[in-house]
Amino acid sequence: MSVAEITTISTTLHYFKPPPDGSKPWVETNLQTGEHSSNVSQGSSKQVIIENVRGHESEYDLDTTGFLFLEHESQCKNFEDEATIKDVYYKESIGLIKKVTGANRVVVFHHAIRKGGPQLLVGPNRPLPPSDRVHSDHTPEDAIKLVHALPQIPNELVPHLLKHRFQIINIWRPINHPAIESPLTLCDYRSIDLEKDLVATTVKFPDYTMETFRVNYNPGHKWKYQRNMRPDEVVFLKCFDSRMDGKTAILAPHTAFVDPTTPEGAPLRESIELRALVFYDDLPEEA
């Protein structure tokens, strides 16, 4: 079987391993200095099967599986420049999210550039390494806290927004070349046990604290990826949805992983992830 025909691979993913003392897990990190501490171990490594969705992308959507694959050529040609990213990429991503979801209000609140290989530089705007722990970015409590905290959202508008459906959606895109090394895999929401699989974890930065989900191993998890994902392809992945009706996907755990079929000499992964609050309220966006 040629590399192009590969439909599944076997690899190791790093799941949650609880602190020995049974306390709530926490991580403290300083992106300026590179300092990092935690009461969480390196994790529990488990062998899994990951399915290549290429050619079957239409079988996945945000409300069923928690993620959606799209072809989209970005007009942003310089992902090294923060001003260009915020001026060009933010604007086009807001338009794309509105088009795909039907939302009337989108607030981009963060982006991150990730690059594979040794990360020798620290400080503002430096690339981060691929995240190799199974996780989801926000707990429900953290999502609500974020709506209250963002300066882009007027305080007087917050109560109205929280009465309506809202989501946190990430857009993940390879940049400069296909994501062959350290690709991204996503867990089908339908294979998750919300009560048993998700572990709230405190993440502390020098200027703010947030809460994410680490993920316990579940042999029923169904993992997917788009092989050799290109810069003109994106995946929307859901990190939160206030529509908790028992049917709608509310998140998609995800992680980078080592693909054992990666060719020798393949370029190290480079990617951008953009995070946005997505609102479905009934007021004009200027309100």
Q: 3-state DSSP call for residue 48?
A: strand
pLDDT band at 154 (very low <50, low <70, confident <90, very high): very high
Q: What would the pLDDT profile of 122-146 be if each residue is shown by its tens digit? A: 556 678 899 999 999 999 999 999 9
pLDDT score of 117: 76
Cα–Cα distance for residue pair 237/254, rounded to 1 Å: 9
Q: What are the two backbone dihedrals, phi and then psi, of residue 242, each rounded to the nearest 5 degrees?
A: -75, -10
Cα–Cα distance for residue pair 32/34, rounded to 1 Å: 6
195 CB burial (10 A radius; 0-12, 13-18, 19+): exposed
* Phi/psi-derived region of residue 91, left when phi > 0, alpha when psi is between -120 and 50, beta in every other case: alpha
- What the block records as the tokens of 189 is 């929401």
Strand partners, 140: none
User: For residues 236 and 61, is the Cβ–Cβ distance under 8 A?
Assistant: no
Report the chain's mean pLDDT, rounded to a whole number: 94
User: For residues 174 and 270, is the Cβ–Cβ distance under 8 A?
Assistant: yes
Q: How far apart are the first and last CA of the chain?
A: 56
DSSP secondary structure letter of residue 193: -
Q: What would the pLDDT profile of 55-76 be if each residue is shown by its tens digit? A: 999 999 999 999 999 999 999 9
- What the block records as the tokens of 265 is 């000499």
Q: pTM, whole model, 2 decimals?
A: 0.94
**Closest by CA position to 234, among listed 71, 79, 108, 98:** 71
Where along the chain do its domains lie? 3-279
**Residue that has been written with the tokens 């060009």 in this structure:** 88
